[in-house]
Amino acid sequence: MVPVGEHWGQSALDLAGAAVQAVRQDAGIDGVDLLVVANMLAASGRHGQLNLGGQIADWSGLRGIEAFKAEAACASGGSAFRAGWLAVASGQVDVALVVGVEKMTETLGPEVTLGLASAADADFEVPHGPSFVALNALIMRRYMHEYGWKREDFAPFSIVAHDNASRNPYARLQDRISLEAYRKARMICDPINLLDASPIGDGAAAVLLAPLDRFSPSSGRAPLRVAACTSATDSLAIHDRREPLRLRAGEESAARAYALAGVGPKDIDFFELHDAFSIMSALSLEACGFAAQGQAPRLGLDGDLAADGRLPIATHGGLKARGHPVGATGVYQIVEVVRQLWGEAGRNQLRRAQLGMAQNVGGSGATIVTTILQRSN
Amino acid sequence: MVPVGEHWGQSALDLAGAAVQAVRQDAGIDGVDLLVVANMLAASGRHGQLNLGGQIADWSGLRGIEAFKAEAACASGGSAFRAGWLAVASGQVDVALVVGVEKMTETLGPEVTLGLASAADADFEVPHGPSFVALNALIMRRYMHEYGWKREDFAPFSIVAHDNASRNPYARLQDRISLEAYRKARMICDPINLLDASPIGDGAAAVLLAPLDRFSPSSGRAPLRVAACTSATDSLAIHDRREPLRLRAGEESAARAYALAGVGPKDIDFFELHDAFSIMSALSLEACGFAAQGQAPRLGLDGDLAADGRLPIATHGGLKARGHPVGATGVYQIVEVVRQLWGEAGRNQLRRAQLGMAQNVGGSGATIVTTILQRSN
């Protein structure tokens, strides 16, 4: 992965190319059969770029190989990983390279806001005026109303994320934050304040998928097994959901992932969740069975989610502080799980990291991909 | 499929939903595990729509199933079909639904031209001003120069396509054209005239992929086998190619497809090619080994490509006359191959249709998907 940030001197191709080069050197595998690109916004606007698959393959020195782009808004990264995994599982593709890339910071603010709104329903949500933050604010307010939480009960999600990011040189925001700072943070869209919301960013991350026997033991690293990568959907519009406080697609994809991996929530050592907004952390934890409905903030208040807690989350800073280069985020999550499982997470290394999980959310819960990776020895 | 046309009263969701409903009724299969959406332009512009996978699943009564969008410009349809096929081949997905959809005609002309240019290289081609037609005109002029063909030697490609479209109620342009009309056609971008170029359109088409044993014999139809579906890429920019008159990605994906299917060009009964411009027909025929380099126009002049010829092309009208709803086109091609193999192509039915091929081109040859379908009895 490349650090998430404002990369004024580098294009999307530069960023993707750097991630591809890094993963190929890292894996020690030369031949690549398939490139799946995860991206959300490059096609938007008047001077958009489609056909990123062929373009990034060419730019990365892989001209000619099979390639396409997978898109499911902010769940593009997870969806691309799922597509790459299925391709290898089919036996027709030996080595699949998945690269997530997004270039956002040189676009004007209102354009980014419009672009992000493309993840919401363009017919039945966007015309009424809400930005993507506003849609999440509606969910958060309802959640507080239903379950009796106060605003600051959500603070631990962000405090933990920033704490972990402070030890991650790839993170966009590497400063720790206090409860006091959270309390005083500027309101963006009530009840979401600045420290509930993840920052956009430029970035790229890549992973390589291949049959386990392709990895030579000489690399000194344990091969990692994709125990599960599953995906499910829900309506785009929040108002179309019977229970807007439940991520049904998250529940469904998590249930399938647990069944496929033969594990349950208690077996998961750490969880890279999709904390685009702190309310999404709560909903994702509940969808995956880590907390009862409406009770996820308790995990944060009890210290369970910190690096030394029962279920560490956002171990590299999460979307909140590592940063959220939207279409690439799902691939960053996978890379971070890999680093933990390999024992290469530096100052963020967890003591116990045998089974790691990531959940990647597109839209306000419309597409959700759950991935479980496992050390195979 | 729905007829390609100007569907003022129907949204992209309406069109996609109609195609999904039709294919599900047709196949007599209820459960669908995965939806892959092929689309090129819905994300473009200021009020774009991302996350079409979840949205179309929901709209079609399939809320909750796994879904994502595959995009490779005009090769999105073929790429989505390839992704669906790999998913079923993996054994993890039982039934995959692939729907291609595009809604273009209500967009203003200049916006469509800009959108289509997104398939070209946004850094190194588009800033110099050429539209997508202009890029193809450069190729055509060079081809004429190198091989000594005159403009009207390309007429048979379009005449055959319109002739076939005149018998296809789903076609956008159902009028036959004469050599005289071709000669007098208005020049769009020299040497491409109006009758060398395919019309954009609104449309949607869907296919269903499943293990062969899922099809019940009671349907009365022969199950069709995907003998091959392969994809390859090339540089986006034409000027980056050593030989701009060769579709390297077409050659590569065709070679892989032939090898996988265990057949050669001589075994193919008919060919649904990507005649976005008549020059692309020539290059595609050569890439697939149906003609020597620079000699494809001869096939047209000799009558080989007509419905009663040696290698019928564009049997439902092709992009040229059935119409070119860009992201959906690759799926239309597959549906048309299916209709021929099932003997349900109506007045376009070929006498011999055991082995049909489609080639779907994204950009000016940057992503090319080749599919071979076969009657399995």
pLDDT of residue A27: 85
Which site among B15, B39, B50 would you substitute to test the A interface, given the most A Cβ atoms closer than 10 Å to its Cβ?
B50
Torsion, Cα of A341, A346, A350, A356 (10° steps): -30
How far is it, in rounded angstroms, from Cα A95 to Cα A86?
11
Query: What number of other Cβ atoms are within 10 A of residue B117's Cβ?
Result: 24
Per-residue pLDDT at A218 exceeds 80: no
Closest-approach residue (CA) in chain B for A12: B123
Sorted by sequence, the CB contacts under 8 Å of residue B129 that are 6+ apart come out as none
Task: List, edge to edge, every strand of the sheet that includes B355-362.
Answer: B224-233, B367-375, B355-362, B270-272
Beta bridge partner(s), residue A373 = A226, A356
Q: Which amino acid type is present at position B108? A: L
Beta bridge partner(s), residue A98 = A36, A207
Helix-helix angle B278-287:B132-147, to 10 degrees: 60
Give the range among A327-336, B15-24, B100-109, B240-249 with minimum mean pLDDT.
B100-109
How far is it, in rounded angstroms, from Cα A7 to Cα A13?
12
SS3 A92: coil
Reported confidence tier of residue B222, pLDDT bands at 50, 70, 90: confident
Structure tokens at A307: 């690096």
Closest-approach residue (CA) in chain B for A83: B83
Q: Which of A7, A74, A162, A274 is catalytic?
A: A74
Helix-helix angle B248-261:B278-287, to 10 degrees: 50
Hey, are the CB atoms on A68 and B231 less than 8 Å from each other? yes
DSSP string, A256-310: HHHHHHT--GGG--EEE---SBHHHHHHHHHHTTSS-TT-HHHHHHTTTTSTTSS
Report pLDDT digits (tens) over A131-152: 999 999 999 999 999 999 999 9
Per-residue pLDDT at B229 exceeds 60: yes
Report pLDDT digits (tens) over A291-302: 999 999 999 999
Closest-approach residue (CA) in chain B for A366: B54
Out of B40, B45, B64, whose CB is closest to A252?
B64
Q: Which of B7, B162, B316, B324 is catalytic?
A: B324
Hey, are the CB atoms on B54 and A71 less than 8 Å from each other? no
Q: Give the domain ranges of chain A.
A: 12-375
Q: Which of A7, A162, A274, A324 is catalytic?
A: A324
pLDDT of residue A272: 98
Q: Which amino acid type is present at position A46? A: R
Beta bridge partner(s), residue B135 = none
pLDDT of residue B221: 84
Q: Please tell me the CATH superfamily of domain B12-211+221-375, with its number.
A: Thiolase/Chalcone synthase (3.40.47.10)
How distant is the Cα of B196 from the closest Cα of chain A, in angstroms? 24
Q: Which segments within A190-242 are labelled E, that is strand?
A: 192-193, 203-209, 224-233
How far is it, in rounded angstroms, from Cα A83 to Cα B85?
11
- Strands A355-362 and A270-272 turn out to be parallel
Reported confidence tier of residue B349, pLDDT bands at 50, 70, 90: very high
Structure tokens at A32: 């690549």
pLDDT of residue A111: 86
Can A324 be counted among the known catalytic residues?
yes
- CB–CB of B283/B146 below 8 Å? no
Reported confidence tier of residue A217, pLDDT bands at 50, 70, 90: low
Can A288 be counted among the known catalytic residues?
no
Give the range among A175-184, B15-24, B40-49, B89-98 with minimum mean pLDDT.
B40-49
Which site among A14, A34, A233 would you substitute to test the B interface, given the most B Cβ atoms closer than 10 Å to its Cβ?
A233
How distant is the Cα of A160 from the closest Cα of chain B, in angstroms? 30
User: What is chain B's mean pLDDT, rounded?
Assistant: 95
- CB–CB of A358/A334 below 8 Å? yes
SS3 A87: helix
Structure tokens at A110: 């209102």
What CATH code is assigned to A12-375?
Answer: 3.40.47.10
Hey, are the CB atoms on A233 and B362 less than 8 Å from each other? no
Report pLDDT digits (tens) over B177-215: 999 999 999 999 999 999 999 999 999 999 999 998 887
A37 chain-B contacts, CB cut-off 8 A: none
Closest-approach residue (CA) in chain B for A39: B71
B362 chain-A contacts, CB cut-off 8 A: 51, 54
Hey, are the CB atoms on B362 and A232 less than 8 Å from each other? no
